Structure 1
């Protein structure tokens, strides 16, 4: 077990290395063609270097080398992360199709699941009765890892959005892990927050570099793993909801994206321009305002998750119902205003 001084040192190392390395990654990306070109679906209007996720990875590895005793516990996750990084790097260079990226994510999640990191049973509320999941424990683990990995990837549409939302989510997980003395999670989140924060300095609006799929897939994968470790082996029905609340923005944005594409008879993996950040831009908010609004929403859900974890069972139930209605109503209002031009014009006038 490491001391507080060790955690602070690991954070500073990962932060500093990420800050120092990012300019070199920018030069490397430009020289070797890791470039993001503008198109109809993207918000940026000029050619930008990507592969910025390499800075996050290098910063994370630096912090991990300092807290080297963790490595022996992380081999399945490290192997899975290597596959994720390979897929992300190839996509940043050659723009892989969605099916190829999905196969890579599935492979990485299978390695983690087969290593034994699964949720084996669920304890029912008001009872000590356990429901053993059997083969479904592997399926649940794989679905969770692939789902969260993709959700972070899908919200990476504005400068600093995915990196900022990831930092907020990981900070919330860090607080929950501290309250529950989960030292492995504390170590991992400390390192990841430091490396991502160092990169965010260059990625916040106006960005000098994009994280690309190297970064968004890596962050999504890591967040899915550390949130899964918090549930390791067994959960109650209500504790299962906690990581969902922490990651409410990417999870619900992905859920509505899938639902929207199914209703429009589109392929689920096809990209579109109707995510939450696109909706807010359509309402007339600036690029920077949109990112800050989503940061605020993410912070709200992070704090909510911490409160949820400390509340009673009935309090938790009421809290979940309230949050569910809040999410649904907000999404419907944004969609309604975005679709109706008179309402959109009125909103912009009120905003101005």
Structure 2
């Protein structure tokens, strides 16, 4: 714990002794990486007492009976672990990434709003609750509202309304940008939410995606987005310390909705949002598997395209172990992240 406090104090000293944040790219990157380390340490330090608090208050996850039978052992595992990710990021962003960087109020607001929405959903899906959370329609309405507000801010005050096409260039698409931004934020939030079904799966793949966009932002000189992305990475990795199989805590919708929405917001702020389906290929595959399953089920009067969706459940029923699935999905996510960064350079 003393190491974490010492590192936090050094970062604070670094910022307090400057009237403005450093202009040197190397110093800016150093600060971003330092905050990532601080986020990791803070999450690990507060993780254990927070999980014990969740257990004492009976905040355990209810498991859907239609899921794989092997998941029944997870019944009662503490949930709402997403606060372990979002709270350190919020604190560090407020203290170290807002000075002269007021644009960071946008991803911060998206993070807070979606985390609160997810927490309400998690609270209604605990063991002993009579419901399985908020209705899909209610959640989608609120996600769309958050997404619309974010899209308007991106388009208006931040002046973002362009598309970057690899090997071709940048083009202004005007107001068409607005529905695209709404779809990107709400869609990514839902996709990460669907991915959060195995220990470390959503967290690991999200950390890879945030790293990719942090590097893209650095290449653009957007150090505020770099800092936000790397702070998210550190906090997510700290959460994974406790989410490693067998998980001591689940992030729940508190974490998954916030991760997805803030990832899309960061991608939009870099202007490289066209690469989001590539960098987040695992999230796309998970969401697409659900949509295809539903469509195929309706068209064929009850037949199934996959054994079970989202996609990770299909591989579970094929006999892959939970750790095999998560590690292989991580590898796919890493390669997709590298491809996305390569295309951003193009």
Give 5+ residue unaligned stretches, structure 1: 232-238, 267-271, 312-352
Displacement of 1:250: 0.3
Structure-2 change in CA distance of 1:261 and 1:67 (3 Å): same
Cα distance between partner residues in 2 of 1:129 and 1:27: 50
Displacement of 1:222: 1.0
Alignment of 1:111 with 2:141, yes or no, is no
The number of residues matched between the two structures is: 298
TM-score by length of 2: 0.79
Structure-2 change in CA distance of 1:200 and 1:44 (3 Å): farther
> Which of 80, 84, 108 is the equivalent residue of 2:110?
80
Displacement of 1:123: 6.9
- Structural mapping, 1:238-257, within 5 Å: 241-257=274-290
> Does the CA contact (< 8 Å) of 2:32 and 2:230 recur in 1?
yes
Residue by residue over 1:114-152, the C-alpha shift from the partner in whole angstroms, topping out at 9 and shown as x without a partner, is: 223475244788988956332x32111111100011110
Structure-2 change in CA distance of 1:303 and 1:126 (3 Å): closer
Name the structure 1 match of 2:334: 299
SS of the residue 1:115 aligns to: helix
- Structural mapping, 1:156-171, within 5 Å: 156-171=196-211
Structure-2 change in CA distance of 1:30 and 1:115 (3 Å): same
Cα distance between partner residues in 1 of 2:214 and 2:164: 24
Alignment of 1:59 with 2:94, yes or no, is no
Task: Let me know the Cα RMSD of the aligned residues.
Answer: 2.4
Residue by residue over 1:305-335, the C-alpha shift from the partner in whole angstroms, topping out at 9 and shown as x without a partner, is: 1222334xxxxxxxxxxxxxxxxxxxxxxxx
> Which of 194, 210, 216 is the equivalent residue of 2:256?
216
Displacement of 1:220: 0.6
Residue by residue over 1:49-99, the C-alpha shift from the partner in whole angstroms, topping out at 9 and shown as x without a partner, is: 001000001221232123342662223433333321221111111011111
Structure-2 change in CA distance of 1:276 and 1:22 (3 Å): same
Residue by residue over 1:205-242, the C-alpha shift from the partner in whole angstroms, topping out at 9 and shown as x without a partner, is: 111000000000111111011111111xxxxxxx5542
Structure-2 change in CA distance of 1:129 and 1:19 (3 Å): closer
Alignment of 1:37 with 2:62, yes or no, is yes
Cα distance between partner residues in 1 of 2:164 and 2:280: 22
Structure-2 change in CA distance of 1:63 and 1:240 (3 Å): closer
> Which of 137, 143, 150 is the equivalent residue of 2:190?
150
Give 5+ residue unaligned stretches, structure 2: 1-20, 125-132, 300-306
